[in-house]
Amino acid sequence: MSPTPDFSHETAARTRGLARIAGVDEVGRGPIAGPVTAAAVILDPDNIPEGLNDSKKLTPRRRDAAHQAIMATAQVGVAHCTVDEIDDHNILRAAHIAMLRAVAMLPDPPDHLLIDGNMIPRSCMISAEAVVKGDAKSLSIAAASIVAKVTRDRIMVDLAQQHPGYGWDTNAGYPSKSHISALQSLGVTPHHRRSFKPVHNILCRE
């Protein structure tokens, strides 16, 4: 049975006198289209929504319900890096930029960050720790993963209506077989990441 996230990382930071703890996560490193989206969430320790978990482990319905509960009870910041920024920097750096932008969007500045992954973004000026597989360990990071995923999925549904045929409403821009097939037959859109191999290869052939 896989572990469920808890509040132990947050409690440990709070015992060190760090009051506002933000969980930070991003979604959208793997897609070949669309932005990378990050969220930062400061949960209210006395009012933590039920059912928080790694967003990938929740059904869309439960994810939407959790998202609604997080938005109603927590402090939330959301931010993105565009396709152009991803192509300019590289996806890891873009994800880290989006994370720091999300932190900057929080209503109150946090005292400490719990960041999903094994790296703290460079130019991070706030006390921070990296938590590997953090969305399965920390409730704050799990909340951030839910907010980031729901937000990005909704963006991709909107983009799917503007660019029908690629299936972004179901594949969220990931390189599914049908997405690659559409890319080959319909061509590259402004929302495709040109530095990513499947897109790059098609542009080279053109």
pTM: 0.96
Encode pLDDT of 86-140 as tens digits: 999 999 999 999 999 999 999 999 999 999 999 999 999 999 999 999 999 999 9
For residue 39, CA distances in Å to 95, 97, 108, 133, 176 come to 11, 11, 14, 16, 25
Q: Which of 202, 86, 75 is nearest to 152 (CA)?
A: 86
Mean of pLDDT over the chain: 96
Instruction: Specify the DSSP element, H or E, that contains 131.
Output: strand 128-131
Q: First-to-last CA distance in the chain?
A: 49
Q: So what's the pLDDT on residue 148?
A: 98
Task: Give the residue-averaged pLDDT of 42-66.
Answer: 95
pLDDT beyond 60 at 70 = yes
Beta bridge partners of 27: 37
Task: Give the residue-averaged pLDDT of 78-83.
Answer: 98
pLDDT beyond 90 at 13 = yes
pLDDT beyond 90 at 1 = no
Residue type for 55, please?
S
Q: So what's the pLDDT on residue 46?
A: 97
Encode pLDDT of 28-48 as tens digits: 999 999 999 999 999 999 999
pLDDT beyond 80 at 206 = no
Pairing mode, if any, of strands 36-42 and 21-27?
Answer: antiparallel
Domains identified in the chain and CATH numbers: 8-152 (3.30.420.10)
